Amino acid sequence: MSKNKKKKKQEPRETIRLSGRNVYTDKNGRVIYYDWLTKQGYLIQKEHEGRMTLFKNRFVIVLFAAILFAGTFLNWTQAVVAGVVMAVLIELYFRLSYLKKLEVVEDVDFQHRLTALQSILEHKSRTQIIALAALYLVFAVLVVLNAYLEDYSMGLNILSGCLGVVGLYFSALHIYALIKMG
C-alpha cells in the first residue's frame, strides 16, 4: 500500500485551464467553482473542464443564438423571447442537474482567484495569444459591420454593438497579456 501512496504523489497533477470571476484554487491546488447563488463551492475535475467552460459562457452563447435568430428567421422580439427561454432552460439544467453531479467543497479560499489574464499567461503560447487577439478584434469589427450591412433594427444594433465591445475587451486583454509576457 505504501508504494501506491508514493506512486500517486509522484504523478503530476493535470492542469485545468479554467479561469474567471467565480473560479478559485484551494490550498491543495484544486480548482473550485463558487456559485454565488447557493453560496457553495464545487470541485472541478479535469473531466468536467469542457462542460464547465460551456456553462460559464452560457449567457454569451444564448446572446449569440438570439442575435443569429433575429438576423435569420425571427424578428427581434421573437429572438429576445427565444433567448430568454433558452437562458432559463440552460440555467435550470446547470443548477438542477450539472451542479448536483459535482463534489461540494466547504472551505473555498477566496484569496486565490484564477483570472483570465493568469490563465492566458500560463496556458497559451505567444503565437496563440497573437492569433486570439487578432481574431477577437476581427470578430468585434465584423459583428458591428454585419449589423450595419444587414440593416438590423435598433435593438439588434445595440446587441451587436455590445458584442463588439466584448470582442474589443478580449482582444485588448490578449494584447495586454502579450505585452506582459515580454
Nine cell digits for residue 111? 484569496
Mean pLDDT of 146-163: 85
Is the CB of residue 32 less than 8 Å from the CB of residue 25?
yes
**Model pLDDT for residues 95-130, shown as the tens digit of each residue:** 899 888 888 887 776 666 667 787 788 878 899 999
Residue 141 predicted with pLDDT over 80: yes
The per-residue pLDDT for range 13-50, each reduced to its tens digit, is 456 566 667 777 777 777 888 888 888 888 888 888 88
Mean residue pLDDT across the chain: 81
Could you tell me the pLDDT band of residue 138, with boundaries at 50, 70 and 90?
very high
Average pLDDT, integer, range 168-175: 94
How far is it, in rounded angstroms, from Cα 58 to Cα 83? 11
The 10s digit of each residue's pLDDT in 66-88 is 877 877 777 778 888 888 999 99
Judge if pTM exceeds 0.95: no
Contact present, 132 and 44 (Cβ < 8 Å): no
Q: Is the pLDDT of residue 9 over 50?
A: no
Percentage of the chain with pLDDT > 70? 86
Strands across the sheet with 40-44, in order?
23-25, 31-35, 40-44, 103-105
Mean pLDDT, range 160-168, rounded to an integer:
91
117 within 8 A of 109, measured Cβ to Cβ = no
pLDDT the model gives residue 16: 56
pLDDT confidence of residue 1: 47
pLDDT computed for residue 134 by the predictor = 96
